């Protein structure tokens, strides 16, 4: 069964999860980054991808249009929510692409429900604290709402007009990162889907760490692109005016998704 409603809300593990569906073709699930939502992470990529795929994107717990639950955020829970949404929409299998924290969630989806994932695209994710640039976690532990990018704050408030909700989302995102514990390598080794692991050369996680991830995933390819965190996908905080990198990235992803591997 293919989903027919272009957008809506799904009852998912005790929350009301907002989703959007764009385009036609093979399903491609997009998972946004921390502090973000569908269009702040993927506003540039989504219309490019929707030319070729049926793109299913959602706002995760406490983000964008989606409600919160009385529990901390976790990559494990986000993955369970994405899996439940796919089942709710009747999607038996899809390509899965995640950016930043969404990349971590995409890894967990592939780990927990390998039968649902055709191919996996992991953008700017990590699995060990040492994989982030020096000082990242020290700064994260002390972070306040004031350091959150204005584009993300404005986007949240445009959807919700709720300053307390914004503070809540920020604190849950911050606490998840500040208390992150290294994942066992077996999580990556368990992934059965062919994977494309992508990072920017001036990202917040190191290229060396991303290479290590690609070597642990049994059937993975590595791609390192010039830029900063999210710039090559046109993420709202790092989009470069006039850049052709998002179009180039989409074409490289398309080649990976249609390859016989």
Which one-letter DSSP state was computed for residue 101? H
* pLDDT of the chain, 261 residues: tens digit per residue: 455 568 999 999 999 999 999 999 999 999 999 999 999 999 999 999 999 999 999 999 999 999 999 999 999 999 999 999 999 999 999 999 999 999 999 999 999 999 999 999 999 999 999 999 999 999 998 899 999 999 999 999 999 999 999 999 999 999 999 999 999 999 999 999 999 999 999 999 999 999 999 999 999 999 999 999 999 999 999 999 999 999 999 999 999 999 876
| Pairing relationship of beta strands 220-228 and 195-202 according to DSSP bridges | parallel
| Pairing relationship of beta strands 54-58 and 94-99 according to DSSP bridges | unpaired
pLDDT of residue 173: 98
pLDDT of residue 1: 47
pLDDT of residue 128: 98
Q: What is the DSSP string of 106-134?
A: HHHHHHH-GGGEEEEEEES--SSGGGBPT
Rounded Cα distance between 129 and 150, Å, is: 26
pLDDT of residue 253: 98
Neighbours of 54 (CB within 10 A): 19
Rounded Cα distance between 246 and 139, Å, is: 29
Minimal CA–CA distance to 197: which of 111, 70, 115, 106? Answer: 106
Rounded Cα distance between 227 and 203, Å, is: 7
pLDDT of residue 98: 99
Rounded Cα distance between 105 and 33, Å, is: 9
Sheet containing 7-12, strands listed edge to edge, beginning at the edge strand earlier in sequence: 7-12, 15-22, 54-58, 27-31, 94-99, 117-123, 195-202, 220-228
Q: What is the CATH number of domain 7-258?
A: 3.40.50.1820
Which one-letter DSSP state was computed for residue 147? G
60 touches 104 (CB < 8 A): no
- Domain positions in the chain: 7-258
Count of alpha carbons within 13 angstroms of residue 119, beta-carbon side = 20
Residues facing 55 on adjacent strands: 22, 28
């Amino acid at each position: 069964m293919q989903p027919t409603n272009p957008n809506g809300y799904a009852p998912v593990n005790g929350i009301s999860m907002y989703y959007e569906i764009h385009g036609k073709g093979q399903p491609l699930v997009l998972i946004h980054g921390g502090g973000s939502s569908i269009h702040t992470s993927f506003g540039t990529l989504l219309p490019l991808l929707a030319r070729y795929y049926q793109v299913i994107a959602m706002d995760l717990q406490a983000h964008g249009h989606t409600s919160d639950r009385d529990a901390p955020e976790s990559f494990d829970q986000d993955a369970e929510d994405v899996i439940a949404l796919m089942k709710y929409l009747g999607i038996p299998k899809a390509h899965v692409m995640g950016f930043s924290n969404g990349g971590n969630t995409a890894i967990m989806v592939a780990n927990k429900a390998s039968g649902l994932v055709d191919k996996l695209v992991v953008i700017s994710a990590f699995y060990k604290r040492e994989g982030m640039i020096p000082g990242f976690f020290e700064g994260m532990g002390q972070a306040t709402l004031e350091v959150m990018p204005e584009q993300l704050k404005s986007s949240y408030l445009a959807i919700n007009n709720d300053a307390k909700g914004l503070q809540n989302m920020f604190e849950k995102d911050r606490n998840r990162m500040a208390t992150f514990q290294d994942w066992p390598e077996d999580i990556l080794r368990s992934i059965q889907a062919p994977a494309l692991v992508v990072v920017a050369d001036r990202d917040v996680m190191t290229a060396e760490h991303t290479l290590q991830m690609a070597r642990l995933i049994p059937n993975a390819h590595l791609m390192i692109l010039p830029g900063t965190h999210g710039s090559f996908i046109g993420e709202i905080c790092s989009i470069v005016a006039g850049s052709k990198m998002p179009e180039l990235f989409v074409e490289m992803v398309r080649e990976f998704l249609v390859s016989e591997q």
